[in-house]
Structures are given as structure tokens and as C-alpha cells.
Amino acid sequence: MFDGILKNVWDKKPLVHCITNYVTVNDCANILLACGASPIMADDAMEVEEISALCSGLALNIGTLNSRTVLSMILAGRKANQLHHPVVFDPVGAGASSLRTRTAKDLIEKVHCTVIRGNGSEIRALFQGACDTKGVDADAADITTEENLDAAVASAKAFSQAVNAVIAVTGAIDIVTNGQKTYLIRNGSPMMEKVSGCGCMLTTVIAAYCAANPDQPLDAAAAAVSVMGLCGELAFQRMKQQNAGTGTLHIALMDAMSCLDIETLDRGIKIEER
Amino acid sequence: MFDGILKNVWDKKPLVHCITNYVTVNDCANILLACGASPIMADDAMEVEEISALCSGLALNIGTLNSRTVLSMILAGRKANQLHHPVVFDPVGAGASSLRTRTAKDLIEKVHCTVIRGNGSEIRALFQGACDTKGVDADAADITTEENLDAAVASAKAFSQAVNAVIAVTGAIDIVTNGQKTYLIRNGSPMMEKVSGCGCMLTTVIAAYCAANPDQPLDAAAAAVSVMGLCGELAFQRMKQQNAGTGTLHIALMDAMSCLDIETLDRGIKIEER
Amino acid sequence: MFDGILKNVWDKKPLVHCITNYVTVNDCANILLACGASPIMADDAMEVEEISALCSGLALNIGTLNSRTVLSMILAGRKANQLHHPVVFDPVGAGASSLRTRTAKDLIEKVHCTVIRGNGSEIRALFQGACDTKGVDADAADITTEENLDAAVASAKAFSQAVNAVIAVTGAIDIVTNGQKTYLIRNGSPMMEKVSGCGCMLTTVIAAYCAANPDQPLDAAAAAVSVMGLCGELAFQRMKQQNAGTGTLHIALMDAMSCLDIETLDRGIKIEER
């Protein structure tokens, strides 16, 4: 499954423009290289349009937003829209501050996002205007479980239709939907929460997969989510084998991404279509 | 020793707001996760008060200060003061430039700091107004040794009383004092200086420990200093066993923090009360 | 070979001021520590001259340039020039945007650079005014091979003479020239491209080597290029032995730098003088 998606990434080696937070930016650059793409980080308003035009995809992340970089995100996003490059948006901490919620909503209005990826609380904040997120992690009430899965899928589909974007709500069970077709993905390890930036990294990988597969954003996003989750599982196994901790988990995650092959994905993927 | 301090961190999983330098920010986020807390990095003046209000502790670090982020530090610090959240301040490079010395002093005047952590040169620059630090490492003359220990303790106590904060002067021998009671800690490895950001990481861990133990800042700070030192020792042992270098040391430090338990701390802690 | 260069670094432990991009800044700090130097990152215009005066070398990198930090680069560069400190410049992405090309040229005019290090496309953009780089990696047409080596050397020498700087064009074959004498270095591994920031790290190591050997910039730069390439080879070997990926490669590179000794360099160096 997703063989063609992955092969396109490896063949095309897409260049992905990232305007992202300074906390996890190095991991974003390295995970892009590990997945077969190339990163370029550039956030000055004077060059973002030119840089984005060189690339085939754009990843936007408001994890450490400020007025200077938000302007650059909008400029880069509009240029990417003009050129029909996929734009993947990560509304980090939407709901945790009014600045983040407002900025995220504004960005979605001004830039057409191909994919929006966030945790349950961030997506709810954008869709329902809720403003009670407790930081950059999802609130317990927003975590998708088998019990609330139907409601979570319905909500993701409705949001997808409202903003005309693929929505990826990641958590214990990941939901990826284009409003019509929905994938549920049960890969991943709870320990991934103990490595800062797994969400940010996933966002850039989605951008790479979409850049190499511009006509299949749903499948590209679902493939990236599955791959990242599986890499987290493989990394967790190595951490356990080595009786190690989260430093090793971090490195093993990068290793797993750079070593991934189709057979490993086919054997490990836990995906269901709804 | 410090069982209760650590258990509170693990139970409460405090959310710590960090306004810190971009050099070591990823390590700060990951060490917070490793020690049982959660990080949120946010430095825009328009949101720092709101973000800090969500958290239970604040870490401020001037390692790559600029006028934009210094303003945010003061806004966040005052909000944390209002809400009685612990504020931990790391005056990176105080004494190395007049901007840093002036900013650090100004911040201490405008924000009540619960704990100030620095090396001997930084603390001396703040206390004595000395301006001859040679960078971000302590000058040889400012390193605490068995020979100058009494004078160093007296100076730390006097500074603590002057600014009404717990002072943590870290180095070969760490001094943690609230002006009355003083801990001397002999954990750590000289090799930790070969990993960028051990001081910055410690500052955020102190913030996490204080956030979970708001009524015991002295013991919380001393526990964090001991834990960090011990993790450095464990990391150094693994580096040696694997015949490896400072890249491995870096990862092993994170591993040690994420795997730490009370028994390991009790066995390894080298602390003395004065 | 280069014994004296390396011993000077280890003896003098030079403090290197870096104004560099936020993507790879942590790696730059750690590789400086690993090679025997010390880093200080400071980019605010109000302190860069004072900080640079404390140091014995300056590394400038426009990987994530903006107007604020470009001004700081020029201020720091001029101060370093006044004090006869070596300045090493990395024109990341020159040719990829007009802002980068213009800024890089402007910086070379306003600051005398001791060494300029870039890939073939970046150096060509600066020398020939070409503006068609496809990102931060070299275009295929700009990669030095045995076939185009003579032309590449001639071009590097001409650029060196034009700007009165040592030029280091890194790639499959590295060229380091002062316009008269030229070194060709064949160390390194193609896998180094899969770790973000190997070029940025090399730039800071060159700055450290020049800082400790201010009268020998050509040999200092060639030594740094050789050392970095050899460390990449050693790291690649460990990655293969462990059947691991690029996360391990990244850590192993840092390990190799921190463990390097003269014997290993003498055994592994692949250098030729022209």
C-alpha cells in the first residue's frame, strides 16, 4: 500500500520550503532528508516568495510564531497557491493563546491549505473556535479513542469540507480525511510524545509526500502519517532492546525514517478505510 | 533524598513556559519531557502573558537575547509573579557584554526570580557588577574549588539575600542556597562542558521541579542540580563504555534523565548541607 | 600533516563568535566544542562588536538571514577586521534568491573575509553573478568531478584572487585555495548530505582552526576540510556497522570529531597539492 506514493518521493526528491518554529527546525530538516526530500528554511519576507517558487511544497508551522514570520507565511502561502504547490499547515498551540487561534484562522482564510495537521485540541480550536487548549499537547478530552471515534471522524470530515483541505488529526488513533474518504491509522507509540517535535516533523513529511504526489493529497498525507507512526514503533523497539531512553528514541526515529522500505511499511502499516 | 520533589514532578507533569535561546532550545524541550514535565516555547510579546498563565513555571534565558525577546521575558515574568508561578532565570553570558549584564540586572529588578542559575562568572557579574567574563563559560578564577569554597558560599548567600532568590552557582562543585541553608553538590562530569546547553537544560529542569514544588524552591533547585549532575555521570560512563564521543554523551544524557528513578538518585547523589 | 594546526586548536581552545542560522546552530555549537574550541552565539546589533572582540574568530552564515541579523554580521565582521581576527563566511543559498546573492556580495564588499566556504553553486553565484541555484544544495552542473576539476580549480583560484580570501569549494572533491597554492581533498562520504548542516558545521570548524592559526588560513582551512571529511567517513563506517541510519550518522560525526587524534588524521587524510 502507498508504494507509488513513496516511490515518487524517492524519485523526485522534492525540495520543501519550511517556515517553522525554531524549537524543532533541525529535526524537521533532518527528517525531510531522511524521508528522501530536501529542506530549505527561509523566513524573511523579502525572499520567501522566490524561495517557495523554487520548491515543490511548503510547510507552515506556528510553533514559535511572531509578527515577522506570520507575514512571511502568508506571502509564501499565497505564492505556493498561485503555483499550485501543496501547502501543509501545522497550527501548533491553536487554542492555547488567542494570538495562535486568531493567526491560524487568519492563515487558513488567506492561504488555501492542502493539508492541515494538528492534534485533537488544535483542530477543535480551529473548527469550533474553542480556546481552552492547555499548551501544545492535546487535552485529555480531545484525544481520539475507540469510544469517541465516530464523533471524531464526523467532526474531522465536517472541518475538511468547511475548509476544503485534507485534515489529519493525529493522536492514539490518527484520522486523515478529505471530507469524503477517511483513513484511520493505528500506528505509532505513546512514547513519541516524549520526543519534542514528532508532530512538526510529521507535518514536513506530509509536505514532502504531497509535493511528490500533488494530485493525491489524501493518500500522500495518510502515507506520511502511517510511515511516521511506524517509524515511531520501530524506534520504540530499539529503545527497549537497548534499555535506553528518549535520547535514543529520537535518534532511532531518524534512523527508521532513513532506512524505511516498502516491505517494512507493508508489513507494519495498520490502516483502515472508512 | 528528594523523593517527594521528584514524585511531585512525575505526578503533576508541570507545563513549563520557556523563553530561551535558539541554540539549545530543542535540548531544553526534550530534557523537560525527559524529566517528566512538558515544554511550551513562546516568545512573542502578544502572547507570552497568556501562555505563561497556562503554565505552572517559567524559565528565562538570555543566551541569544534581543530587544524583542527581552521585552517578552519581562512581560511573561511579571505575569508569572502575579500568579505566584516560579520564575527561573539563566543570565547566560552576563559579564561578557554590557548588553547582557545590563539586561540581566534589569530583569532581576523588574521580575522577582525564584531561582537564578549561572556559572561563577555570570553570578559574580550580576552581584559585583564585574564585566570581564570571557564568553559563556566561567573564567578560571571564578570556578569553585575546595580551596575557595568558603568564600564562594559566602558570596552566593549574600547575593541570595540581596535579591531574595535561591542562587544556584554551578561548576565543579555546585552551590545552591537560599541565603540561610546551603547545599553543596559534587555530582557531574567535566565532560558535560563538551555538550552545549547543559546549563540551559538544567535551568529548565529547575523550573520544572519548582513548578511541581512551588513551596520548596531551595530543595527543588538542589534536587534538579543533583539529578542533572548524576545524569551527566551516567552519560559519561556510557560514553566511555562505548568508546564513543560527545555526540553519544549528549544522547546518553537525555536517556539518563528519562530513565532516572529514586533508587538511582539515592545511590548516586553527592550532596552536603552547610 | 597539519599536526601543528590541530595542536594549536587543542592548546588555544579558541573562542569563536558565530552569527549563524537557527536550523543547525546547535550542531555548530557542539562541533566547535568537539573540535577543541568554544562557541558563543550572539546576534544582537547592540552586542556583536563587544562579543566579537572577546573572541579570536568569527563565523558568519546566511542560512536563515533577515535584515536584523545581516546588520549584526556586518558590524561583527568589521570589528573582527579591525582586530585582525579571521572571518569565515558561509553564503548558504547564494544564487537561490536575489536577497541571498545580494546580501552575500554586499557582505564580501563590506567585510574582508579570510575564508569563504560554499558548495559549487554558491561560489559560482558569488563569482559569476549566476542566480539559478535550486536551493541550498549544489546543482548537478556545479559539482566538482575528475572531469571538470581543472576548470573548477581555475575558477576557485580566480575568485580567491578577486576577493583576496581563501576559497573552499566543498563537494565530492573539495578545493581549498588561496589563489596561489591549492589543496584538493578527497575525504568525505556522500551520505553526509543526508545530515543537515555538515556545511555549516564545517564553516565553524574552519573558523576555529583559523582562530588558532591566524597566520595560516590556507592550511587551517584545508585541515578543517580534511578533518570534517574524515569524520564523515568514520561516522559512515559506524552507521554501516550498526546497520543504522542518518540519526546515528549525525551522532557518530560528532563522536568522531571529539575523538580525533593526529594518527587517525595522518592515516586517513586524502589530500593533494596543486
Query: Is C135's CB within 8 Å of A40's CB?
Result: yes
Q: Is A22 on the interface with C (CB under 8 A)?
A: yes
- Residue the block writes with cell 484525544: A143
Q: In what order do the strands lie in the sheet with C166-170?
A: C38-41, C15-19, C57-61, C87-90, C115-119, C166-170, C174-177, C182-185, C271-273
Angle at C133 between CA A21 and CA C236, to 5 degrees: 70
Is the CB of residue C88 less than 8 Å from the CB of residue C113?
yes
Predicted pLDDT at B225: 98
Is the CB of residue B221 less than 8 Å from the CB of residue B115?
yes
Task: Choose the closest CB to C25 out of B23, B67, B250.
Answer: B23
Q: Mean pLDDT throughout A262-273?
A: 98
Is the CB of residue B206 less than 8 Å from the CB of residue B117?
yes
Predicted pLDDT at C105: 97
Q: Mean pLDDT throughout A155-162?
A: 97
Confidence bin at B103 (pLDDT 50/70/90): very high
Confidence bin at A259 (pLDDT 50/70/90): very high
Q: Mean pLDDT throughout A164-174?
A: 97
The residue among A78 and B128 whose pLDDT is bigger is A78
Angle at A169 between CA A151 and CA A113, to 5 degrees: 120
Predicted pLDDT at A128: 81
Q: Above 70 in pLDDT, residue A134?
A: no
**Closest to A65 (Cα-Cα) out of A200, A211, A250, A204:** A200
3-class secondary-structure state, position B124: helix
Predicted pLDDT at B128: 81
3-class secondary-structure state, position B207: helix
Is the CB of residue A274 less than 8 Å from the CB of residue A157?
no
Query: Is A245's CB within 8 Å of B258's CB?
Result: yes
Task: Choose the closest CB to C34 out of B21, B99, B246.
Answer: B246
Q: Is A53 on the interface with C (CB under 8 A)?
A: no
| Chain segment B35-55, per-residue pLDDT in tens | 999 999 999 999 999 999 999
Q: Above 90 in pLDDT, residue A131?
A: no
The string of DSSP codes covering B144-206 is --TTTHHHHHHHHHHHHHHHTSEEEEESSSEEEE-SSSEEEE----GGGGGSTTHHHHHHHHH
Q: How far is CA C234 from CA B81, B175, C257, in A?
A: 51, 41, 9
* Residues in chain B closer than 8 A to A244 (CB atoms): 255, 259
The string of DSSP codes covering C48-100 is HHHHHHHSSEEEEE-TT--HHHHHHHHHHHHHHHHTT--EEEE-TTBTTBHHH
- Subunits with 3+ C-beta pairs closer than 8 A to B: A, C
| Chain segment B89-99, per-residue pLDDT in tens | 999 999 999 99
3-class secondary-structure state, position B15: strand
Grid coordinates standing for C209? 582552526
- What are chain B's domains? 3-273 (3.40.1190.20)
Interatomic CA distance for residues B270 and C7, integer angstroms: 36
Q: Is C13 on the interface with A (CB under 8 A)?
A: no
Task: Choose the closest CB to A51 out of C22, C97, C196.
Answer: C97
3-class secondary-structure state, position A32: helix
Query: Is C245's CB within 8 Å of A259's CB?
Result: yes
Interatomic CA distance for residues C237 and C192, integer angstroms: 12
**Closest to B86 (Cα-Cα) out of B194, B219, B198:** B219
Q: Is A171 on the interface with B (CB under 8 A)?
A: no
The residue among A202 and B140 whose pLDDT is bigger is A202
Q: Is C23 on the interface with B (CB under 8 A)?
A: no
Chain B segment 195-224 residues within 8 A of C by beta carbon are 195-197
| Chain segment A37-71, per-residue pLDDT in tens | 999 999 999 999 999 999 999 999 999 999 999 99
Query: Is C47's CB within 8 Å of B100's CB?
Result: yes
Q: Is A49 on the interface with B (CB under 8 A)?
A: no
- Give the chain A residue nearest B231 (alpha carbons): A245
**How far does CA C246 lie from the centroid of its chain?**
21
Q: How many residues does chain C have?
A: 274
- Give the chain C residue nearest B95 (alpha carbons): C51
- Subunits with 3+ C-beta pairs closer than 8 A to A: B, C
Query: Is C135's CB within 8 Å of A38's CB?
Result: yes
Q: Is A26 on the interface with C (CB under 8 A)?
A: yes
B78 burial class (0-12, 13-18, 19+ CB within 10 angstroms)? Answer: middle
Confidence bin at A140 (pLDDT 50/70/90): confident
The string of DSSP codes covering A129-152 is ------SSSPPGGGS--TTTHHHH
Predicted pLDDT at C170: 97
Predicted pLDDT at A138: 80
Predicted pLDDT at C138: 80
Residue C140 CB partners (closer than 8 Å, separation 6+)? none
- Give the chain B residue nearest A68 (alpha carbons): B44
* Residues in chain A closer than 8 A to B252 (CB atoms): 247
Q: Above 90 in pLDDT, residue B142?
A: no
Say what percent of chain A tops pLDDT 70.
Answer: 98
* Residues in chain C closer than 8 A to A259 (CB atoms): 244-245
* Residues in chain A closer than 8 A to C22 (CB atoms): 22, 25, 41
- Quick one: angle between helices C25-34 and C246-259, nearest 10? 30
- Give the chain A residue nearest C239 (alpha carbons): A255
Predicted pLDDT at B193: 97
Going residue by residue through chain C, which has 274 residues, state the pLDDT in tens, using 9 for 90 and above.
899 999 999 999 999 999 999 999 999 999 999 999 999 999 999 999 999 999 999 999 999 999 999 999 999 999 999 999 999 999 999 999 999 999 999 999 999 999 999 999 999 999 986 555 667 778 877 888 989 999 999 999 999 999 999 999 999 999 999 999 999 999 999 999 999 999 999 999 999 999 999 999 999 999 999 999 999 999 999 999 999 999 999 999 999 999 999 999 999 999 999 9
* Residues in chain B closer than 8 A to C253 (CB atoms): 247
Angle at C123 between CA C6 and CA C200, to 5 degrees: 45
Average pLDDT of chain B is 96
Q: Is A41 on the interface with C (CB under 8 A)?
A: yes
Task: Choose the closest CB to C41 out of B64, B97, B100.
Answer: B64
Q: How far is B96 from chain C (nearest CA, A)?
A: 7
* Residues in chain B closer than 8 A to C255 (CB atoms): 244-248
Q: Mutation test of the interface with chain C: which of B25, B70, B99, choosing the one with the most C Cβ atoms within 10 A? A: B99
Chain B segment 86-145 residues within 8 A of C by beta carbon are 93, 96-100, 134-137
Predicted pLDDT at B240: 98
3-class secondary-structure state, position C39: strand
Q: Mutation test of the interface with chain B: which of A21, A65, A122, A136, choosing the one with the most B Cβ atoms within 10 A? A: A136
Q: How far is C30 from chain B (nearest CA, A)?
A: 6
Interatomic CA distance for residues B206 and B204, integer angstroms: 5
Phi, psi of B185 (to 5 degrees): -125, 130
Interatomic CA distance for residues A7 and A265, integer angstroms: 12
Q: Mutation test of the interface with chain A: which of B51, B236, B239, B246, choosing the one with the most A Cβ atoms within 10 A? A: B51
ipTM field: 0.96
* Residues in chain B closer than 8 A to A135 (CB atoms): 15, 38, 40, 54-55
